[in-house]
Structure 1
Amino acid sequence: MSQISPRILTLVGVGIGVSILTAISSFIYKRLRSKKEVIPIKWRKVGTLDQLYFIPIKSCRPIELDEAFCENLGLRKDDIKDRALMVIEKSGQVITSRTYPKMFKIIPKIVSRSELVLSAPGMEDTHFDYADLDTKSSVSTIKALIYGFHADVLECGEIYNKWFSQYILGEPEGLRLVYYPHQNATRPIGRFYKEGIYTKQDTGTFQDMSSFNLINNVSVDELNTRLRDDEQVPLLQFRSNFYVKNTGPAFAEDNWKWVRIGNEVVFRNIGPCYRCIVPNINPYTSERHPEGEPLKTLKTYRVFPGSKYDSPVMGIQLGLRNNGSVRKGDCVYVEETE
């Protein structure tokens, strides 16, 4: 019987040791992470929910709500979900207001539990009913490319393809309206999530980074003190879901580790909101600021030291940890720290 060489025994021992250390590290990481996820018992009030918005079609006009239900994929109003619809090119690539600012002028209006009316300048209104979507597992999906991730989506129908193509491109074809048919988040945690404590369930439907976003109104007020009178930005320019009215200080939300809205809905602050060029576009006129404001000013004092990204931060990304309904006027609480 041949003997095993000392070199092989050493390599096997090293391999076993590495496996054990990896398992121990994974266990410790999970324990520490689970401890971080324990919902606080003590809270302190920081303000009230001043405005509540959701965006049925990615990059189109938001809808202001009085109340909505919070679930892992995002806000939901009856059968209508936040950013569960988006427009793609024939190739499958998502298009947004970054390239087509006129998308801001596509205005959805809720007319029933499952129905929207879509309006846009120069276009006849069109009705969209979620009840007409065939989301059965037997229906084949197509691939859509959104920020490097290929999502399985459903086409909504040729009538909508023509409507969006005509308005956005001025052509009878070229674009498709698609729907997010899944009950859970399917997007992997990408590079933009590395600086937060995201879980896969936080990636939402077609949102840029997470299912929910929050801004402290005082932060926008403070920004406006640095801008000229003709450059003042409305809250809506930042396209957040939750706008909190409080007495300050500005950017306090950066340090809100836990947020509760009302009596039951609890969120985890899972990372800062790095801003793209969309805040440079007026949400009402769809015009891009010629001098790049307000991002130009934000970059002078809201780029985080040590961050891997040079985008300025405005607001926080939230991951849902206890679902339920939220309403305008609800008290907003944060974790009470000793």
Structure 2
Amino acid sequence: MGAAASSALTGLSLPQLRLSLVLPGLAQPRAAWLGAAALGLAAAAALGAAAWSSRGPRWRRRRRRLQRRLRQVGTVAQLWIYPIKSCKGVPVNEAECTAMGLRSGHLRDRFWLIINEEGNMVTARQEPRLVLISLTCENDSLILSAAYTQDLILPIKAPTANVVRKCRVHGLGIEGRDCGDEAAQWITNFLKTQSYRLVYFEPHMRPRNSKQIQDAFRITDKVAYPDASPFLILSEASLADLNSRLEKKVKANNFRPNIVISGCGIHEEDSWNEILIGDVEMKRIMACGRCILTTVDPDTGIMNRKEPLETLRSYRQCDPSDQKIYGKSPLFGQYYVLEDPGTIKVGDPVYLLDQ
């Protein structure tokens, strides 16, 4: 009952209330009371509608989620952030899921990029030894490191005096704040091939639109320097099945997933349309077509150019109807995007949201 209705009732004693319902002479008070009650109910309805509206689409999705049946399909076994595109991954036990990928403290997934003098991205496809370079965070500083190389300490944020460079990632333009001459020289000295620079994507910069890269994505899906998607999911069962076909075993890091799932069937991740991990809801978009980068050994930085790619091609080709999308690239792992943000942890159950 609304506040106006409560006020009207307070102003009437119990005898008056009874008489107003019986005596014709009291019809006017009765009408006034009913009008006040109606106003109160209308006000309550309006407040309820406003509350519903203010909660927004995320709350409504959560309400719909509660009405669905949840079925556990696996468990989070590993979480990986790759701060610099094509460089070494950083394992974490917990990460925040944002629309543009995983975040743990100051480290964000593929928010740093190595470019050549023309501003084009450089990956392990061209420089396999990139997989030996790591970027970690310690005591509010960033640390560039690699085996047999002295570490370089960088500030968390590149100075605003540093130039903002125009870069290109898979043909699309994007900006990056230059991380300075020391970082550029460190990377150039390590690779010993040509001059390179390190840039950082700042949150106020315009991201790339995933739909311009692959039409399957939504117009709202954005990324900084990843190939196309903010999240790549792979299962331990799929990896084990691949390794059962290989002479030399490979690791999950050959495929650079963000989330590795245990406890599910082989390639079961290919069929999950929507999943729930903790309070994070994700939607599957498409499979990940694999390239020569998978043949780089993440421990040695040596590219063999054959395995595991050739074996994958023998049994993981796309349906002929999808060749316009994937061509001859074998499929391994799935691209997901965020529906509801939140935090996920190693050990979290993974639920399938029934449609």
SS at match of 1:166: helix
Structure 1 residues 319 and 284, CA gap change in structure 2 (3 angstroms): same
Residue 337 of structure 2, aligned match among 301, 311, 319: 319
Alignment of 1:170-249 (within 5 A): 174-183=195-204, 186-190=207-211, 192-194=213-215, 196=216, 198-228=217-247, 231-248=248-265
Deviation of 1:132 (Å): 4.2
Tell me the residue number matched to 1:104. 131
Structure 1 residues 132 and 89, CA gap change in structure 2 (3 angstroms): closer
Conserved in 2, the CA contact under 8 Å of 1:185 and 1:203? no
Which residue identity does 1:328 align to in structure 2?
A: V
* Separation (CA, whole Å) in 2 of partners of 1:115 and 1:265: 29
Deviation of 1:314 (Å): 0.6
Residue 295 of structure 1, aligned match among 282, 285, 309: 309
Tell me the residue number matched to 2:16. none
SS at match of 2:142: strand
Structure 1 residues 131 and 144, CA gap change in structure 2 (3 angstroms): closer
Structure 1 residues 335 and 185, CA gap change in structure 2 (3 angstroms): farther
Deviation of 1:236 (Å): 1.6
Deviation readout 1:194-226 (Å, 9 max, x if unpaired): 2x2x12443311001111110011001111111
SS at match of 1:193: coil
Conserved in 2, the CA contact under 8 Å of 1:43 and 1:335? yes
Residue 267 of structure 2, aligned match among 231, 243, 251: 251
Instruction: Tell me the number of residue pairs that the alignment of Structure 1 and Structure 2 aligns.
Output: 289
Which residue identity does 1:244 align to in structure 2?
A: I
Residue 299 of structure 2, aligned match among 284, 292, 315: 284
Which residue identity does 2:184 align to in structure 1?
A: N
* Separation (CA, whole Å) in 1 of partners of 2:344 and 2:149: 34
Residue 117 of structure 1, aligned match among 129, 143, 151: 143
Deviation of 1:111 (Å): 1.1
Tell me the residue number matched to 1:273. 288
Alignment of 1:141-152 (within 5 A): 141-152=164-175
Conserved in 2, the CA contact under 8 Å of 1:73 and 1:185? no
Segments of 4+ in structure 1 off by > 6 A? none
* Separation (CA, whole Å) in 2 of partners of 1:326 and 1:158: 36
Deviation of 1:130 (Å): 1.8
TM-score with structure 1 setting the length: 0.80
Structure 1 residues 124 and 200, CA gap change in structure 2 (3 angstroms): farther
Q: Which runs of 5+ in 1 are unaligned?
A: 1-33
Q: Which runs of 5+ in 2 are unaligned?
A: 1-56
* Separation (CA, whole Å) in 2 of partners of 1:170 and 1:146: 20
Which residue identity does 1:59 align to in structure 2?
A: S
* Separation (CA, whole Å) in 2 of partners of 1:326 and 1:182: 22
Deviation of 1:168 (Å): 1.4
* Separation (CA, whole Å) in 2 of partners of 1:143 and 1:177: 12
Tell me the residue number matched to 2:74. 47
Residue 67 of structure 1, aligned match among 73, 83, 94: 94
* Separation (CA, whole Å) in 2 of partners of 1:102 and 1:45: 39
Deviation readout 1:11-37 (Å, 9 max, x if unpaired): xxxxxxxxxxxxxxxxxxxxxxx9xx9
Deviation of 1:184 (Å): 7.1
Structure 1 residues 208 and 267, CA gap change in structure 2 (3 angstroms): same
Query: Root-mean-square deviation (CA), in Å?
Result: 2.1
Q: Which structure's relative contact order is higher, taking Cα pairs within 8 Å and 6+ residues apart? A: 1
Conserved in 1, the CA contact under 8 Å of 2:81 and 2:107? no
Which residue identity does 2:203 align to in structure 1?
A: H
Tell me the residue number matched to 1:310. 328
- The structure number with the bigger radius of gyration is 2
Structure 1 residues 184 and 269, CA gap change in structure 2 (3 angstroms): farther
Asked if 1:328 is matched to 2:342, the reply is no
